[in-house]
Structure 1
Amino acid sequence: MKLTLIRHGHMAGDPFICPERPVKGCLSEEHGILQAKATAEALRNENFDYAFSSPYGRALQTAEIVMAERETDIRILPYLYEWMPNRALEQVPSTVLEEMQRQAGDAYAEDTWKTEMGEGYYDMCARIIPPFLKDMSAIGLHSRMGGFVPEEHAKELSVVVFGHGGSLGILVSFLLGVRPFPVGSFTFEHTGAAVLHFTERKGIYYPQLVIRALHRSSS
């Protein structure tokens, strides 16, 4: 079993748009599209049995470019969008909004579980984690006792998920058992990828983050 989580490329346009497919204009021409194409080339020899994506255009366009030469369908996960700001603040005078941002920025992390700026950390966890586990269960990967119990056909599955830095960070933290905290423990660069392999112990498959060497060894 293997799970690959990929952040979108550098975006362009409306960050909240959920476009029709094929997606155009959600990645910047000068950076985002090139990043997605480079990712496609880097993963050309990787097999993916399932591909999932955030509904937001920048993630979905990245997924379409990376998966373009493959027969695997891209399934939309409607809950896998990024942190949601408080849209009501768009009507607040800029001076008031700047003061709110300053106060939030000056606060200790422990005081920012939930602020007026938008969605709280636990809100995101509740939005993302339960439905993700349900979708994994639907393809034969059942969450049990801190790991997964796969059905026989699912033991060798390779799954790729295209999303956002914050939402993917929450998934990695949950899967690896990292304690919840308002400051994320993982940072994804544009088209950054986290690869989780699953190791079996007494019928339970536990995810492990693969940390690759920075060089190619000949031995």
Structure 2
Amino acid sequence: MMKLTLIRHAQMAGDPFICPERPVKGSLSEEVGIGQAEATAKALKEERYDCAFSSPYGRALQTAEIVLAGRQLDIGIMPYLYEWMPNRELEKVPSTVFEEMQRQVGDAYAEETWKTELGEGYFDMCARIIPPFLRDLSKIGIHSRMGGFVPEEAAKELSVVIFAHGGSLGILMNFLLGVRPFPVASFAFEHTGAAVIEFVERKGIYYPRMLIPAHH
């Protein structure tokens, strides 16, 4: 069965925007993050992955390297799969002004926050992430068609794993599962939280559905 696993990075350390050289060091916290990634590697050691991808940010890429250590698997970079991008121009304003802007956004109804001065809006993120994501799936033989996906013969049993961030993974989950767009996230990923999407075939079209495993 074709399958897509989405994994959030472990607890970070250092510069959140760094896109480091590999192998990655110092992007996960030594006291918590490294252990979270190692525990995830142990929990997923029996899982088969044919393709692996990561956000370019260090915290996602270091998590991917630890979780996939020992596998003969290249980690491709999805350069568009970084987290919500703040308005960097606001770094120039006085802290009191910035704090007031944050307060005003925090006090607003969700429907009033599709796009704010603080940074990217929801649809900005969708436009940044979803079209290139579909192109990358197409490169490995999974084509978006007629409300679902049509895989090439060689891709029908592919198992793909992607390491990224809570916000960007939430965008992908909403899109794949057909959840309505909304400024308040529908899915929350804890550090190293993993979501598994299976693809179920109906008359040649493969439709995504979320697998919720039992914990026993």
Category of TM-score, reference length = shorter chain: over 0.9
CA distance in 1: counterparts of 2:108 and 2:165, whole angstroms = 25
**Paired position in structure 1 for 2:181:** 180
The Cα of 1:146 is off from its aligned counterpart by 1.6
CA distance in 1: counterparts of 2:167 and 2:73, whole angstroms = 25
CA distance in 1: counterparts of 2:108 and 2:74, whole angstroms = 44
Residue type at the aligned position of 2:93: V
**Paired position in structure 2 for 1:35:** 36
CA distance in 2: counterparts of 1:156 and 1:147, whole angstroms = 16
**Paired position in structure 2 for 1:94:** 95
The Cα offsets for residues 125-161 of structure 1, whole Å up to 9 and x where unpaired, read as: 0000000000000000001112110000000000000
CA distance in 2: counterparts of 1:146 and 1:29, whole angstroms = 43
The Cα of 1:190 is off from its aligned counterpart by 0.1
**Paired position in structure 2 for 1:58:** 59
**Paired position in structure 2 for 1:206:** 207
Helix, strand or coil at the partner of 1:159? strand
**Paired position in structure 1 for 2:198:** 197
1:113 is aligned to 2:110: no
CA distance in 2: counterparts of 1:68 and 1:92, whole angstroms = 43
**Paired position in structure 2 for 1:133:** 134
Residue type at the aligned position of 2:145: R
CA distance in 2: counterparts of 1:149 and 1:213, whole angstroms = 29
Give aligned pairs, total.
Answer: 215
Could you list the runs of 5+ residues in structure 2 that have no partner in the other structure?
A: none
Helix, strand or coil at the partner of 1:200? strand
**Paired position in structure 1 for 2:68:** 67
What's the TM-score, normalizing by structure 1? Answer: 0.97
The Cα offsets for residues 139-185 of structure 1, whole Å up to 9 and x where unpaired, read as: 00001112110000000000000000000000010000000000010
**Paired position in structure 2 for 1:4:** 5
CA distance in 2: counterparts of 1:167 and 1:40, whole angstroms = 22
What's the TM-score, normalizing by structure 2? Answer: 0.99
The Cα offsets for residues 55-81 of structure 1, whole Å up to 9 and x where unpaired, read as: 000000000001111001000000000
Helix, strand or coil at the partner of 2:60? helix
CA distance in 1: counterparts of 2:96 and 2:83, whole angstroms = 26
CA distance in 2: counterparts of 1:32 and 1:89, whole angstroms = 29
**Paired position in structure 1 for 2:77:** 76
Could you list the runs of 5+ residues in structure 1 that have no partner in the other structure?
A: none
Helix, strand or coil at the partner of 1:68? coil
Residue type at the aligned position of 1:178: V
Helix, strand or coil at the partner of 2:7? strand
CA distance in 1: counterparts of 2:191 and 2:163, whole angstroms = 11
Higher alpha-carbon deviation: 140-149 or 157-166 = 140-149
Residue type at the aligned position of 2:173: V
**Paired position in structure 2 for 1:20:** 21
CA distance in 2: counterparts of 1:33 and 1:91, whole angstroms = 34
Moved beyond 3 Å, runs of 4+: none
Helix, strand or coil at the partner of 2:124? helix
Alignment of 1:151-162 (within 5 A): 151-162=152-163
The Cα of 1:97 is off from its aligned counterpart by 0.5
CA distance in 2: counterparts of 1:32 and 1:206, whole angstroms = 34
